[in-house]
Amino acid sequence: MNFNTEFKPLTIQPQQIEGKSFEMITEEIGEHPFTPEEYLVVQRVIHASADFELGRSVQFHPDAIQAGVKAIKSGKRVVADVQMIQAGISKPRLEKYGCDVKVYISDPDVMEEAKRLDTTRSIISMRKAIKEADGGIYAIGNAPTALLELIRLVKEGEAKPGLVIGMPVGFVSAAESKEELAKLDIPFITNIGRKGGSTVTVAALNAISLLADQV
């Protein structure tokens, strides 16, 4: 084997790579049931995951796109379940509308209350979030327990999110939490099954913020 072959890095600009990727995704996905606005979200989910099965499984409440755009343009808070989502979000697009991004899971009072009640910080973080993010966007990509608690709070009339992007990944309660979210009559974006994660949740949220810039 010849190990002296000269490596030639790509010289294509990032925007060209992204554009080419989107063209390939559109060609490969073929016909789909999504509206043009929903497809922009799905396209970015596939781009972030290289997973067409995941992309095709994305589900939208009929008001999801409109509600997400409205929340952003109204300067509502974005609540993320973990710091990875907070790090990946395109903050400049949100900040120009007055939105901030908050993760409560490591707040000292959340940690103390979770220990006192012998429960997860994810659950307590949602209980705190609903007091400070009425009408906000909840982006949950890691903790099914956070999504299940948010669903409970919605059912009990304590939480009124503007949009829930619930795409947690995992084997324990991940698929089930998304099934429960899809039963609610509130704006949501979710997907079927165990797949998901912070990366695709960020992709969906960034797509919504891009759509906010277009209207």
Q: Across the beta sheet with 137-140, what order do the strands follow?
A: 58-60, 188-191, 163-166, 137-140, 78-80, 101-103
Helix (H) or strand (E) holding 102: strand 101-103
**Catalytic pick from 47, 56, 70, 128?**
47
DSSP-assigned beta bridge partners for residue 78: 101, 137
Query: In terms of C-beta density within 10 A (0-12 exposed, 13-18 middle, 19 or more buried), how is residue 105 classed?
Result: buried
Q: What is the largest CA-CA distance in the chain?
A: 67
Query: Does the active-site annotation cover 47?
Result: yes
- Nearest C-alpha neighbor of 79 from the set 98, 102, 97, 110: 102
How many CB atoms within 10 Å of residue 10? 7
Identity of residue 183: K
Which residue is associated with the tokens 């010849």? Answer: 2
Q: What residues are annotated to the active site?
A: 47
